Amino acid sequence: MISRSRSMVGLDVGTHSVKAIELTQRGGDVEVTGFGQVEVPADDPEARVRAVQDLMRECGFRTKKIVTSVSGKQVIVRYLSLVKMSDEELKNAIQFEAEKYVPFPLEDCVMDCQRLDEGGPSSGGNMTVLLVAAQRSQVEEHLAMLRESSVSPIIVDVDAFAVGNAYSLAHGSEEGVQADTILALVDVGARKTNINIIRGAASLFTREIPIGGHDFTEAIARTLNIGLDEAEALKRDAGEAAQSVQEAVYPVMDDLGNEIQLSFDYFENQFETEIEGIRLSGGGSRFPGFQESMEKIFEKETEIFNPFQYISVNEDVDADLLSVNASQLIVAVGLASRLRKE
């Protein structure tokens, strides 16, 4: 018998680049069957549309099933402790509960919730419920941009959860992840850093910090008195200016580390448990010395997360290029991993 295959594309539309990964599942095996990445100017919506169009056309993806995501201040994630109730009762109760936590009118947002089987400070007769709300205008703007690119996503996810899904996929399956291990997944993007603290495959805490790789670039430009384009080039390849570039960025890394540490302290006090390790991803994590600096700040095992060490790659895909860009493709991988839940 020939196993039926299915594919899905994770499309991550970031501030400075658009990334897409296609995953294909045959039986229980998942492999990368396509990917692409295009850099775009931060404030050029039309360039972003063209980038999505180019990726969809040039990458030759075998499926039109697209999963994308949103993030930012307009996306609210809360973990609620509620009395145990049926799914029907939860649908009614969540509207009332959301009013306490969502800082904008509920009629102006897209909202969803999910019962969590484990994790969270719930006990006794309570259960933990994950609430996600996003301002409708942000979601509609994102979808309108994709429609202009001739893309119709079937799912809109949240960046932080996509990082968690990428980790679960890379380690075989949700069942294959060590159930009692608590890890902090830290994804450093261009304008923000997402934290997702997980136990096994379950998300226990998320936070978005408005510091990212672009802040590194601005620090280099400001300290060395150069333009942003030149600073960006030095950030990627400092050459003989490596020492000056690192000294310029260190204060920003300290600020980011302090913000992350505040999140860790809150989590560990709230849950009365300790984070055992940190997995870094995102373009900002590639800056020389970043991993070592974070490990020194947190005094925890800190590694760069490369999902392609654990996922097979089709022979038609450039595995070396994929590996080089791995840290920037985590969100796209997590979005595409939704194919396992179809």
Q: Please check whether the two domains, 5-69+139-176+310-341 and 75-136, share a CATH topology.
A: no
Estimate the crossing angle of helix 213-224 against helix 242-271, to 10 degrees.
140
CATH class of 5-69+139-176+310-341: alpha beta
d(CA 198, CA 184): 6
Looking at this protein, which amino acid is placed at residue 259?
A: E
Can you give the pTM of this predicted structure? 0.89
CA distance 274 to 90: 31
pLDDT of residue 122: 43
Domain boundaries, the chain: 5-69+139-176+310-341, 75-136
Residue 119: its pLDDT value, please?
43
Residue pLDDT tens, the chain, 342 long: 445 778 999 999 988 889 999 999 987 788 999 999 998 887 788 888 999 999 998 888 888 899 999 988 889 999 988 888 888 888 888 888 899 889 889 999 999 988 876 444 445 678 889 999 999 999 999 999 999 999 999 999 999 899 999 998 887 644 445 567 899 999 999 999 999 999 877 889 999 999 999 999 999 999 999 999 999 999 999 888 999 999 999 999 999 999 999 999 999 998 889 999 999 999 999 999 999 999 999 999 999 998 888 888 999 999 999 988 898 999 999 999 998 776
Residue 229: is it exposed, middle or buried by C-beta count within 10 angstroms (0-12/13-18/19+)? Answer: exposed
pLDDT at 162: 93
Among 304, 290, 298, 295, residue whose Cα is nearest residue 264: 298
Q: CA 296, CA 294: separation in Å to the nearest integer? A: 5
Q: What pLDDT score was predicted for residue 179?
A: 61
First to last CA, the chain: 22
Q: How much is the pLDDT for 123?
A: 53
Considering the domain 75-136 in this protein, what is its CATH number? 3.30.1490.300
Amino acid at 336: A
